[in-house]
Structure 1
Amino acid sequence: MTPRTWDAEYDVVVVGSGAGGLSAAVTAAAEGLKVLVVEKTDRVGGSTAVSGGAVWAPLNAQTAQVGHPDTAERVRTYMRNVVGEAAPLAMQNAFLDAAPAMVAWFETHTEVKLAARTYSPDYYPDREGAALGGRSLDPLMFDGRLLDQHFRNLRDPLPEFMVLGGMMITMTDAKHLLAVTRSFKSWREGMKLVLRYFADRLRGHHRGTRLVLGNALAARLFKSALDRGVPYWLNAPLRQLHLEAGRVVGVTVVRDGQPVSIHARRGVVVATGGFPWNDSLRQAHYPKPTGPWSMVPQGNSGDGIQLAREVGATLGSGHVSPAFWTPVSILKRPDGSELRYPHLVWDRAKPGLMAVNGAGERFVNESTSYHEFVNGMYRSNKTVPTFPAFLLCDSPFMERWGLGLALPGGRPREHLVRAGYLFKADSLAALASQLGIEAAALARSAERFNHWAETGHDEDFGKGSTAYNQYLGDAEHRPNPCLGPLHQGPFYAVKVYAGDIGTALGIRCNENAQALDTQGQPITGLYAAGNDMHSVMGGQYPAPGITLGPAMTFGWIAARHLARQPA
């Protein structure tokens, strides 16, 4: 039911403040529209702010500059070889056609500055059409002080992406910090980071203001929205989409405990982050077993998707996976809360880490993508209990690389053992006993794994066999950057579960990001972006940044389409 009177009027109401929502808001404001962003939680940034921040945008203008000239034919070939028919071809093409123009537009008109990676292989580099760099871009470092008083309203990154209680670091930063006693260059870079961080804290900031990764992307989008005068309401959850004569004309949100009805003269963009924290939707659509293992903010509970369905929108179909996976280990705190650690790119590919299932047997290439690793868990679980699976390493590995929340370099970790997060034993047999695994089976797996480490060729699962594997390994290790032995106690292990970094299943849309009804017709005035939109990747994971790339692209497309609509 449409309210008789509206409490506020805007041209566009954007629901959600992640990359999809903020991209739509910034673009719509640049088009001269009056825009409002409403955010369910008390912080801006959504899951973008806690992500790695990569943006996959093939054919962007920087590809040749970083040494990887590309062609549309190669990109489409790669998409065909990875995504195939898991997503509508029209949507795939709409993304590929618009992504480079989106990057160029943001570069010219906003604070969003991205740099193409000089070397970052697509996740299936052995498939025709793959590239070794250029397609994925990272946000440039951003100075949080430029947000002024709004900095506190930006969502903090995951604790795992910070050190010293609030200093953000990249993989490159982490390598420098681990090598400060071995390299003058690393010592210099490490000292610059630490001194900047302590200066921030002395000035009263609640954390470091040197922002990187997804936090930098969210901050740059946030700053761009502020520069355009876009207001944002925090703690304003969506309660209803208003439909009038087949057109979405506004929303009702709750603000300060009261319902507020907002007229959206052009339309509404739902970008509330998908449904990882909606138990009923997860149970209905995720494979079994599943649990509360997501890495995204717990406010991402499907509000936009559910309310869009109430006004006639439909879910997508044909996907191979409802979510984008990552293995996660879980620390249970004394107060009963949980801290989830995503094993994305740091430890699994390094030489000396082995993964086994409940039978003590390897089941997957440990250095494969995080998404493919969890697919391997589900495949293994069909015949052997693999929930949880176990990541194992020995003492030299732990001291150099760490394992999950257990940090390297002799740092304290006994508290993790006491908490039941980290398992530690002087022998593999004793470790097997702690994990409930048959000792003889684990010994056989380790013996075979050690043999492959010696030969440099994993004949069972191909760990270290692709450019992507080796990119995440240890370049100084021979004969294979990803293969090393387990031979020196004490030995360590953590349990991992099938976590996710967002949903792939969402609202079915057309090439203009308009939500579609049961007849496949657009619902006038209703758009979706980010993880509320059914993924153009169909639940496949071709490369780093395939969630944020489409989120920004279709947010941009939605706003430009809205600007052409009558009020």
Structure 2
Amino acid sequence: MTKTFNRRDFLKGGLVLGGAAEAAGLAGCAPTTKGDKQQAQLATTGAAGGIPENWDYEADVIVVGCGAAGMAALNEARAQDLTVIGIEQANMIGGNAAICGGEMCCVGTPLQKAQGIDDSPEKLYEDMCALGADVNEEMMKLYSELTTELYDWVTGFGVEVEEEVHGTNGHTTPRGHFVLPGPGEALGVMRDAAEAAGAEIHLQTALTSLIQDPATKRVIGVVAEDSHGDQLLYKANRGVIMASGGYAQNNDLINEYVTGVGAENFKRQGRDTDNGTGIIACMNIGVASRHMSYCSFSCILNADGDATTGSAMYHCGGILVNQEGERFVDESNGYTNVWTSVVDQTDQIAYCIWDQAIADANNGQGGEYYDHSKAEASGLLLKGDTIEELAAAIGCPAEVLQATMDQYNGDVEATGVDSVFGRDNFVTGTGDLVPLNHAPYYAWKTCIAIGSSRGGLKKDISCQAVDMSGNIVPGLFLAGVISGTSEMGIVPGTRQSKSASGTGFGGALCFGRYCAQQIASIMEPWDQAAA
């Protein structure tokens, strides 16, 4: 990277603009006012007072974004007997969810019971509230309850789920359920189900703004642009569900809120459509933000690979060493947290090391980041028949790496606890440590990457957006990363957010469905004639 940051930059509030930018709004991106934006785009439609006289498309529900939250919303809208259209700026459905780890956090499932796992919404709620400061406890309680229905609902479409339930980052109880063969395929199954039920999906259709009833401020539709640059007007008789994702791919917003400078130098885990268009459109009509200066950084991607090459085998018992061959962190903190130590290492690089025993135990199974065979198939996995050979592949002193391995293995064999950093489990309290002494040995070169934005928009318990005065914006519902991850914890005085595995993908599915249920329950049809 041409511009790097240190621990002080990231963790001590040293990043410029972060907090100030949230207080002042999108200064650098200069959002237009609602009136300017809407009148400019509706000027040629014959609209009176900002309401179009003619619409190109009409449905009870308009869903913006067709990733996990969008697919859930489309299916549930039809289950509630609502007509629904989904618009998606990409030329395919799925969004970031299609290339994520595919983990759903589910509670009380048949798979958990078969493995003797005692779990409950109350236990999940306790874990969510323990993630950090300023957790939205009311929303976490709702989320914990929604997870009890997720497994049965998703598998009801024909989506397959791995039989083994995994203990993963942020959870004290194993509740990680991985869709098979991956999230892209699972969302494809849900797309087919939605279309078979009568939902419409319009690809290469990008949101540009929202349309409100001037008198009531109710959101009644959206303005979009198709692949030819033509404007399209979508009328929502009952409500709009914003499931358009976050802003992790928008360098201007990352610099504005998080890093100050240098956002373009970070690797990204997501698709380029995760560009904040939905957030900007909502803020243009006065929707308030929450935790906007927080972003998810992780250590999964290979430093020499792309956004599709990720591995976190230290969740399965591997260790992390730096370029010098030394451990530097308690790996059980998980891939969303160890970056705070990786940032201080040479070139901000780390190597995850595991042995053949761990490879055999995690071969052809597990999630996207916990499968040895997937790391091997990438062509980026380093290998050595001895520790000396592995050190040569890494480029670190062999005697240092050998000493590191000897210290770790000795501790684990003697007491089951690492004496250097106090590690006593694989990740977040699950898994008993094992010595790494079965040749051959493997290493995955990993770096810090931006996974997703953690900040988002405020909503109430019905998932309707909330404005700067604390009032709901009627008819505008929020699901997925555009809002959901902002409800979780933060580390005060830093830019570090706290989250748990499976809450992104699984949470998007939960709240996409919930938004459609809420629209069916509380939103009466909008009467244009009375407007």
5 Å-filtered alignment, 1:282-361, equals 282-286=254-258, 291-317=265-291, 322-323=295-296, 325-331=298-304, 338=306, 340-344=308-312, 347-349=313-315, 353-361=318-326
Q: Give the Cα separation in 2 of the matches to 1:442 and 1:36.
A: 56
Alignment equivalent of 1:526, drawn from 461, 476, 485: 476
Displacement of 1:423 in angstroms is 6.3
Displacement of 1:454 in angstroms is 4.9
1:106 and 1:400, CA in 2 relative to 1: closer, same or farther beyond 3 A? closer
5 Å-filtered alignment, 1:92-491, equals 92-101=140-149, 111=157, 119-121=165-167, 123=169, 130-132=172-174, 135-139=175-179, 212-245=181-214, 246-257=217-228, 258-286=230-258, 291-317=265-291, 322-323=295-296, 325-331=298-304, 338=306, 340-344=308-312, 347-349=313-315, 353-366=318-331, 368-371=333-336, 375-379=337-341, 381-382=343-344, 384-385=345-346, 387-392=348-353, 442=401, 444-452=403-411, 454-455=413-414, 456-463=416-423, 465=425, 471=431, 482-485=434-437
**AA at the equivalent of 1:276:** A
What SS does the corresponding residue of 1:121 show, helix, strand or coil? Answer: coil
Displacement of 1:387 in angstroms is 0.8
**AA at the equivalent of 2:446:** V
Tell me if structure 1 keeps the 8 A contact 2:102–2:182: yes
What SS does the corresponding residue of 1:328 show, helix, strand or coil? Answer: coil
Percent identical among aligned pairs is 22
1:428 and 1:386, CA in 2 relative to 1: closer, same or farther beyond 3 A? farther
Tell me if structure 2 keeps the 8 A contact 1:120–1:468: no
What SS does the corresponding residue of 2:340 show, helix, strand or coil? Answer: helix
Tell me if structure 2 keeps the 8 A contact 1:361–1:441: yes
Q: Give the Cα separation in 2 of the matches to 1:35 and 1:212.
A: 28
Who is 2:513 aligned against? 556
5 Å-filtered alignment, 1:15-94, equals 15-59=64-108, 64=113, 67-80=116-129, 82-94=130-142
Please give the TM-score of this superposition, normalised by the length of structure 2. Answer: 0.73
Who is 1:151 aligned against? none
Q: Give the Cα separation in 2 of the matches to 1:115 and 1:392.
A: 28
Tell me if structure 1 keeps the 8 A contact 2:121–2:148: no
1:331 and 1:306, CA in 2 relative to 1: closer, same or farther beyond 3 A? same
Structure 2: segments with no counterpart, 5+ residues: 1-37, 48-53, 364-368, 490-496, 527-531
Q: Give the Cα separation in 1 of the matches to 2:307 and 2:105.
A: 28
Q: Give the Cα separation in 2 of the matches to 1:448 and 1:100.
A: 43
Q: Give the Cα separation in 2 of the matches to 1:532 and 1:66.
A: 34
Aligned residues: 457
Tell me if structure 1 keeps the 8 A contact 2:209–2:222: yes
Tell me if structure 2 keeps the 8 A contact 1:313–1:516: yes
**AA at the equivalent of 1:376:** V
Q: Give the Cα separation in 2 of the matches to 1:212 and 1:380.
A: 31
**AA at the equivalent of 1:316:** R
Q: Give the Cα separation in 2 of the matches to 1:217 and 1:265.
A: 30
Tell me if structure 1 keeps the 8 A contact 2:392–2:398: yes
1:238 and 1:446, CA in 2 relative to 1: closer, same or farther beyond 3 A? same
Q: Give the Cα separation in 1 of the matches to 2:233 and 2:505.
A: 30
1:459 and 1:48, CA in 2 relative to 1: closer, same or farther beyond 3 A? same
Tell me if structure 2 keeps the 8 A contact 1:40–1:236: yes
Displacement of 1:225 in angstroms is 0.6
Tell me if structure 2 keeps the 8 A contact 1:19–1:551: yes
Q: Give the Cα separation in 2 of the matches to 1:359 and 1:289.
A: 26
Displacement of 1:441 in angstroms is 5.0
Who is 2:460 aligned against? 510
Please give the TM-score of this superposition, normalised by the length of structure 1. Answer: 0.69
**AA at the equivalent of 2:231:** P
Displacement of 1:485 in angstroms is 3.9
Q: Give the Cα separation in 2 of the matches to 1:46 and 1:423.
A: 30
Displacement of 1:137 in angstroms is 3.6
1:284 and 1:448, CA in 2 relative to 1: closer, same or farther beyond 3 A? farther
Who is 1:161 aligned against? none
After TM superposition, the structure 1 stretch with the greater mean CA deviation from structure 2, 284-293 or 390-399, is 390-399
Q: Give the Cα separation in 2 of the matches to 1:12 and 1:547.
A: 23
Who is 2:4 aligned against? none
Q: Give the Cα separation in 1 of the matches to 2:276 and 2:436.
A: 43
Tell me if structure 2 keeps the 8 A contact 1:330–1:340: no
Displacement of 1:232 in angstroms is 0.7
Tell me if structure 2 keeps the 8 A contact 1:276–1:301: yes
Tell me if structure 2 keeps the 8 A contact 1:349–1:469: no
**AA at the equivalent of 2:348:** F
**AA at the equivalent of 1:91:** M
Deviation readout 1:256-301 (Å, 9 max, x if unpaired): 3112121222222111221221112223344698644222222211
**AA at the equivalent of 2:408:** F
1:399 and 1:63, CA in 2 relative to 1: closer, same or farther beyond 3 A? closer
**AA at the equivalent of 2:310:** P
Q: Give the Cα separation in 1 of the matches to 2:77 and 2:177.
A: 23
1:388 and 1:66, CA in 2 relative to 1: closer, same or farther beyond 3 A? closer
What SS does the corresponding residue of 2:268 show, helix, strand or coil? Answer: coil
**AA at the equivalent of 1:86:** D
Q: Give the Cα separation in 2 of the matches to 1:293 and 1:547.
A: 19
Q: Give the Cα separation in 1 of the matches to 2:350 and 2:408.
A: 17
What SS does the corresponding residue of 1:17 show, helix, strand or coil? Answer: coil
**AA at the equivalent of 2:131:** V
1:442 and 1:551, CA in 2 relative to 1: closer, same or farther beyond 3 A? same
1:77 and 1:116, CA in 2 relative to 1: closer, same or farther beyond 3 A? farther
What SS does the corresponding residue of 2:457 show, helix, strand or coil? Answer: coil
**AA at the equivalent of 2:250:** N
Displacement of 1:549 in angstroms is 2.4
Who is 1:537 aligned against? 488
Q: Give the Cα separation in 2 of the matches to 1:399 and 1:262.
A: 52
Deviation readout 1:91-144 (Å, 9 max, x if unpaired): 11121233324555566xx5155769664335356xxxx324xx44444xxxxx
Q: Give the Cα separation in 2 of the matches to 1:432 and 1:138.
A: 33
Q: Give the Cα separation in 2 of the matches to 1:392 and 1:467.
A: 15
What SS does the corresponding residue of 1:483 show, helix, strand or coil? Answer: coil
Deviation readout 1:140-196 (Å, 9 max, x if unpaired): xxxxxxxxxxxxxxxxxxxxxxxxxxxxxxxxxxxxxxxxxxxxxxxxxxxxxxxxx
Deviation readout 1:350-394 (Å, 9 max, x if unpaired): 56x5422355431123455322xxx22323535x54612233467
Displacement of 1:229 in angstroms is 0.8
Q: Give the Cα separation in 2 of the matches to 1:425 and 1:96.
A: 44
Superposition RMSD on alpha carbons, in Å?
4.0
Q: Give the Cα separation in 1 of the matches to 2:471 and 2:191.
A: 33
Displacement of 1:231 in angstroms is 0.9
